[in-house]
């Protein structure tokens, strides 16, 4: 499935454009705010090719894509008008009205504002890391090159209100250029220079119509500009309504700025600065009194926050700490959490017997070392559960240790090996020790906890035989020269066998969805290959997910890109969640009609939980086959 088709399917399963009131993305996931959550099919989203995980968390439907999330996001945007929900009667607001949890609204808003700024934050943070390492090694000390490198690393932090103004304006659906003007009001030299000379002049305020404007430095500030843009999102439409239409272009911006700039300088700016200072002071106090416990708690829960997409909620506090004191003690706990999940993934790599899972665990573990943990969490450690919590425990221990040695980060960056130059402690070697400990403890705790695969794989051959026999299904004992523990899945249709590599869909051809075989059908019927349950039936009826009583899971995908037919030419005889018997008719389809519509009918049959087996083999790679004849061999 290509990125555009994936975007189309995601749009369909979240309830269509008319059900979307907001959409953002972060480093790995799409974040939808829906009008009616009940219209989203999370199970179907979860099983889409190219989706690692779908969940409803913090008032958002989050679709975890991975590294290519920005490409899929662009495809989703290109398929929509950009003004989600439409206007008037075209908007579909059917269904119960959601009662929004205020905490979820705040977290969702924070994430929505900060995620678009992440590329600039991370980029400047990594450049700051390079500058720090160069300075520590004495390279090009005092040179213009190092001066410029430091300037690039600092620019987003110094001019943070401008970046947040644009992002907040998009979030609150107000004019982004007026929002930038508000940021300019906070950052104007009249304010900043006067604030820097308070000790010299003794002047700490400017009179404005009898009201004092406190002189404060708003560089690197977070909360003041967010508050100002939020308030402006209400002021602007009110002003626009009372101004005659032919004067709106001239008068509305003038009045809005005349109201908002003094308001932010007199009231919102100081309030936001004080809130930021209180938050920073509170965190500093917490770490100063029970620092080891605070670091341990944050380290343990950081992967859980990532799992629910809540990890960006602490971003404003981290930025405010760096702005106030030049460093943050929160990022070291995140570093411990990321490296511990990497260690847990490497533990799964060591324990698993599946070549496919070894490859996935190894690659996602390396990715986690550099700060992106979603592939490791969703694809590996959460799958087996015990490794995930083994990593959490390891992160808790190392997070407490980092607090003990006064570990801090001097820049915002992805918490991983590449950003180690931005971390400090009582002695730098303590940072290195903590990183090694996080990886090793995550690895060792995973080895101690084990993975469920080992338990499932420890069944005796007799137990496996009994389980298969009890199914009275196509997952049966092979009757020829194969070992008695080998199992067979029979063909769900009649047709011509083809290698899976001939399917014109890279997700299947490259066995990303699982190992299996393809069949060009000569009859338009799909039968149940075993006793089990219908795990998934796509709305378009072109794909079916089945699970046998003994745990074997297969996906039957009829045709290539046939999702675009939206169910035309397909008739389903089963429902999702229905119990099935071997030989039951599942779906009928019209091969001639599908072909005439310009689509290939080649059908992919793959084992989607192949990591639980030693190998997945096919009985043949070509030739005719009839329904219920042996097709796929599973070797435990």
User: What share of the chain in percent tops pLDDT 70?
Assistant: 88
Q: What's the average model confidence in pLDDT over 294-311?
A: 81
Kindly report, residue by residue over 93-111, the tens digit of the pLDDT: 444 444 556 666 776 677 7
Q: What's the average model confidence in pLDDT over 153-159?
A: 84
How much is the pLDDT for 296?
A: 92
Checking if the pLDDT of 475 tops 50, the result is: no
Which of these ranges, 224-228, 457-461, 531-535, has the smallest mean pLDDT? Answer: 457-461
Residue 281: partners with Cβ closer than 8 Å, 6 or more residues away: none
* 477/398: higher pLDDT: 398
Q: What's the average model confidence in pLDDT over 613-632?
A: 81
Q: Is 26 a catalytic residue?
A: yes
Q: What's the average model confidence in pLDDT over 174-191?
A: 93
CA-to-CA separations, 200 to 192, 196, 219, 429, in angstroms, rounded: 14, 9, 20, 42
DSSP 8-class letter at 486 = -
Checking if the pLDDT of 139 tops 50, the result is: yes
Contact 451, 357 (CB under 8 A): no
Q: What ranges in 583-634 are assigned the alpha helix state H?
A: 591-596
How many residues make up the chain in this entry? Answer: 636
Can you tell me the distance from the alpha carbon of 8 to that of 10, in angstroms, rounded to the nearest whole number?
Answer: 6
Q: What's the average model confidence in pLDDT over 49-69?
A: 78
Contact 447, 351 (CB under 8 A): yes
Q: Which helix (H) or strand (E) holds 211?
A: strand 211-214
Report the half-sphere exposure of 624 (CA within 13 A, side-chain side).
4
Checking if the pLDDT of 364 tops 70, the result is: yes
Contact 156, 120 (CB under 8 A): yes
Checking if the pLDDT of 464 tops 60, the result is: no
Kindly report, residue by residue over 394-453, the tens digit of the pLDDT: 999 999 999 999 999 988 888 889 889 889 999 999 999 999 999 999 999 999 999 865
The tokens for 19 are 């059900």
Can you tell me the distance from the alpha carbon of 93 to that of 85, in angstroms, rounded to the nearest whole number?
Answer: 9
The tokens for 176 are 């982004």
Q: At what angle do helices 102-114 and 160-172 cross, to 10 degrees?
A: 130
Contact 447, 350 (CB under 8 A): yes
Q: Which helix (H) or strand (E) holds 69?
A: helix 69-78
Q: What's the average model confidence in pLDDT over 153-172?
A: 88
The tokens for 299 are 């380290």
Taking residue 385's Cβ as centre, other Cβ atoms within 10 Å add up to 12
Give me the catalytic one of 25, 26, 124, 129.
26
How much is the pLDDT for 589?
A: 94
Q: At what angle do helices 269-307 and 386-404 cross, to 10 degrees?
A: 140
pLDDT interval class at 461 (50, 70, 90):
very low
Can you tell me the distance from the alpha carbon of 162 to that of 179, in angstroms, rounded to the nearest whole number?
Answer: 8
**pTM over cut 0.85:** no
Q: Is 155 a catalytic residue?
A: no
CA-to-CA separations, 359 to 329, 421, 444, 452, 475, in angstroms, rounded: 35, 30, 19, 18, 27
- Of 363, 372, 365, 364, whose CA–CA distance to 413 is shortest? 372
Give me the catalytic one of 129, 542, 557, 573.
557
Checking if the pLDDT of 233 tops 90, the result is: yes
Can you tell me the distance from the alpha carbon of 592 to that of 584, in angstroms, rounded to the nearest whole number?
Answer: 23
Contact 167, 117 (CB under 8 A): yes
**In DSSP terms, which residues pair with 175 in a beta bridge?**
none
Q: At what angle do helices 189-196 and 176-187 cross, to 10 degrees?
A: 30
pLDDT interval class at 457 (50, 70, 90):
very low
Residue 35: partners with Cβ closer than 8 Å, 6 or more residues away: 15, 18, 19, 20, 21, 85, 91, 92, 93, 95, 98
Burial 123-144 (b: 16+ CB within 10 A, else e): ebbbbbbbbbebeeeeeeeeee
- Of 302, 175, 278, whose CA–CA distance to 223 is shortest? 278
**CA dihedral defined by 308, 355, 552, 467, rounded to 10 degrees?**
-120
Can you tell me the distance from the alpha carbon of 53 to that of 381, in angstroms, rounded to the nearest whole number?
Answer: 13
């Amino acid at each position: 499935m290509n990125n555009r088709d994936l975007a189309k399917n995601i749009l369909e399963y979240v309830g269509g454009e008319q059900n979307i009131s907001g959409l953002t993305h972060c480093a790995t996931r799409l974040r939808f705010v829906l009008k009616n959550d009940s219209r989203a099919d999370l199970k179907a989203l979860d099983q889409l090719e190219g989706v690692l995980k779908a969940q409803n968390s913090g008032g958002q439907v989050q679709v975890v894509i991975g590294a290519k999330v920005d490409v899929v996001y662009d495809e989703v945007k290109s398929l929509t008008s950009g003004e989600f929900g439409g206007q008037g009667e075209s908007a579909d607001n059917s269904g119960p009205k959601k009662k929004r949890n205020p905490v979820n609204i705040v977290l969702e808003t924070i994430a929505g504002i900060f995620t678009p700024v992440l590329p600039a934050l991370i980029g400047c943070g990594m450049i700051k890391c390079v500058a720090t390492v160069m300075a520590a090694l004495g390279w090009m000390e005092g040179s213009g090159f190092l001066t410029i490198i430091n300037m690039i690393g600092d620019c987003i932090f110094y001019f943070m209100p401008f970046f947040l103004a644009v992002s907040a304006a998009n979030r609150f659906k107000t004019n982004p250029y007026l929002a930038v003007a508000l940021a300019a009001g906070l950052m104007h030299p009249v304010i900043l220079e006067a604030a820097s000379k308070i000790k010299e002049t003794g002047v700490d305020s400017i009179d404005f119509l009898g009201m004092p404007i406190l002189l404060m430095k708003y560089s690197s500030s977070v909360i003041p500009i967010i508050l100002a843009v939020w308030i402006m999102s209400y002021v602007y439409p009110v002003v626009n309504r009372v101004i005659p239409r032919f004067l709106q272009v001239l008068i509305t911006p003038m009045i809005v700025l005349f109201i908002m700039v003094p308001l932010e300088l007199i009231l919102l700016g100081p309030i936001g600065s004080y809130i930021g200072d209180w938050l920073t002071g509170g965190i500093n106090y917490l770490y100063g009194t029970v620092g080891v416990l605070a670091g341990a708690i944050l380290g343990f829960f950081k992967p859980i926050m990532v799992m629910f997409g809540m990890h960006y909620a602490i971003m404003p506090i981290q930025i405010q700490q760096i702005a106030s004191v030049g460093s943050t003690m929160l990022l070291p706990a995140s570093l411990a959490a990321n490296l511990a999940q990497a260690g847990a993934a490497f533990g799964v790599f060591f324990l698993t017997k599946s070549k496919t899972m070894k490859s996935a665990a190894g690659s996602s573990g390396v990715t986690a070392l550099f700060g992106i943990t979603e592939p490791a969490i969703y694809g590996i450690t959460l799958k087996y559960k015990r490794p995930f919590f083994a990593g959490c425990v390891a992160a808790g221990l190392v997070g407490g240790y980092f607090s003990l040695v006064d570990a801090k980060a001097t820049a915002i960056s992805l918490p991983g090996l590449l950003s180690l130059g931005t971390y400090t402690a009582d002695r730098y070697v303590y940072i290195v020790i903590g990183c090694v400990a996080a990886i090793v403890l995550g690895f060792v705790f995973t080895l101690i906890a084990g993975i469920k695969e080992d338990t499932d794989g420890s069944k005796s051959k007799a137990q496996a035989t009994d389980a298969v026999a009890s199914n009275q299904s196509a997952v049966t004992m092979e009757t020829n020269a194969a070992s008695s523990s080998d199992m067979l899945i029979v063909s769900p249709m009649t047709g011509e066998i083809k290698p899976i590599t001939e399917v014109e869909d890279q997700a299947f051809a490259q066995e990303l969805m699982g190992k299996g075989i393809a069949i060009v059908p000569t009859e338009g019927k799909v039968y149940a290959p075993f006793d089990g349950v219908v795990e998934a039936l796509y709305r378009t009826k072109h794909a079916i997910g089945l699970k046998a009583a003994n745990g074997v899971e297969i996906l039957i995908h009829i045709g290539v890109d046939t999702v675009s037919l939206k169910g035309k030419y397909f008739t389903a005889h089963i429902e999702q969640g229905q119990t099935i018997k071997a030989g039951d008719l599942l779906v009928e389809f019209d091969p001639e009609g599908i072909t005439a519509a310009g689509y290939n009918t080649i059908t992919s049959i793959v084992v989607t939980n192949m990591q639980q087996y030693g190998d997945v083999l096919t009985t043949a790679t070509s030739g005719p086959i009839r329904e219920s004849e042996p097709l796929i061999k599973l070797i435990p």
